[in-house]
Amino acid sequence: MAAAPKRPFRWHIGVFLAPAVLVYTAIMILPLAGTLQLSLFRNIDQSQVFVGLQNFRMLLGDPNWSVNFWNALGNNVWFFIIHMLVQNPIGVLLAALLSSPRLRFAAFYRTAIFVPTILSFVIVGFAWKLILSPLWGVAPNLLDLIGLKSLFTPWLGKEEYALTTLSLISVWQFVGIPMMLIYAALLSIPEEVIEAAECDGITGMSQFWKIKLPLILPSIGIISILTFVGNFNAFDLIYTAQGALAGPNYSTDILGTFLYRAFFGFQLQVGDPNMGAAIATMMFLIILGGVCVYLFLVQTRLRRYQF
Partner 1 sequence: MTTKLLTALLLGTSILGSAGVAYAQDVTLNIESWRGDDLAIWKDKLIPAFEAKNPGIKVVFAPSAPTEYDAALGAKLAAGSAGDLITCRPFDKSLELYKKGNLADLSTLPGMENFSDVAKAAWQTDDGKTSFCVPMASVIHGFIYNKDAFDKLGIKVPETRDEFFAALDKIKADGTYIPMAMGTKDLWEAATMGYQNIGPNYWKGEEGRAALIKGEQKLTDKNWVAPYEELARWKPYLGDGFEAQTYPDSQNLFTLGRAAIYPAGSWEISLFNTQAQFKMGAFPPPVEKAGDTCYISDHTDIGMGLNAASKNADAAKTFLSWVASPDFATIYANALPGFFSLNNTPVKMEDPLAQEFVSWRGKCKSTIRSTYQVLSRGTPNLENETWVESANVINGTDTPEAAAKKLQDGLDSWYRAGK
- Supply the minimum distance, in Å, between the C-beta of residue 39 and partner 1: 16
By C-beta, is 80 or 258 nearer to partner 1? 258
Residue 34 Cβ, how far from partner 1 at the closest point, in Å? 19
CB of 134 to partner 1, least distance (A): 2
Size of the site for partner 1 (CB under 8 A): 32
Closest contact distance (angstroms) between CB of 42 and partner 1 is 13
Rounded Cα distance, 108 and 3, in Å: 67
Q: Tell me the closest approach of the beta carbon of residue 154 to partner 1, in angstroms.
A: 3
Quick note: the x/- pattern for partner 1 over 47-66, rule CB under 8 A, is ----------------xxx-
Q: Rounded to an integer, what distance in angstroms lies between the CA atom of residue 65 and that of residue 56? A: 10
State which residue, 152 or 235, has the beta carbon closest to partner 1: 152
Q: How far is the CB of 68 from partner 1 (least distance, A)?
A: 8
Among residues 177 and 272, whose Cβ is nearest to partner 1?
Answer: 272
Which position among 31, 190, 243, 289 is part of the footprint of partner 1 (CB under 8 A)?
A: 243
* 272 part of the interface to partner 1, by CB under 8 A: yes
Cβ proximity to partner 1, 219 vs 252, nearer residue: 252
Tell which one of 129, 202, 218, 298 touches partner 1 (CB under 8 A). Answer: 129
Please give, one letter per residue, the 3-state secondary structure of the chain: CCCCCCCCCCHHHHHHHHHHHHHHHHHHHHHHHHHHHHCCEEEECCEEEECCCHHHHHHHHCHHHHHHHHHHHHHHHHHHHHHHHHHHHHHHHHHHHHCCCCCCCHHHHHHHHHHHHHCCHHHHHHHHHHHCCCCCCHHHHHHHHCCCHHHCCCHHHCHHHHHHHHHHHHHHHHCHHHHHHHHHHHHCCCHHHHHHHHHCCCCHHHHHHHHHHHHHHHHHHHHHHHHHHHHHCCCHHHHHHHCCCCCCCCCCCCHHHHHHHHHHEECCEECCHHHHHHHHHHHHHHHHHHHHHHHHHHHHHCCCCCC
Select from 270, 297, 300, 307 the one that contacts partner 1 (CB under 8 A). 270
Angstrom distance (rounded) from CA 14 to CA 20: 10
**What minimum distance in Å lies between the beta carbon of 257 and partner 1?**
12
Task: Tell whether residue 79 is a contact of partner 1 (CB under 8 A).
Answer: no
Which part of the chain contacts partner 1 (CB under 8 A), choosing from 8-16, 111-119, 207-215, 246-254? 246-254
The residues that touch partner 1, with contacts defined as CB under 8 A, are 63-65, 129, 132-136, 140, 152-159, 242-243, 245, 247-250, 261, 266-270, 272
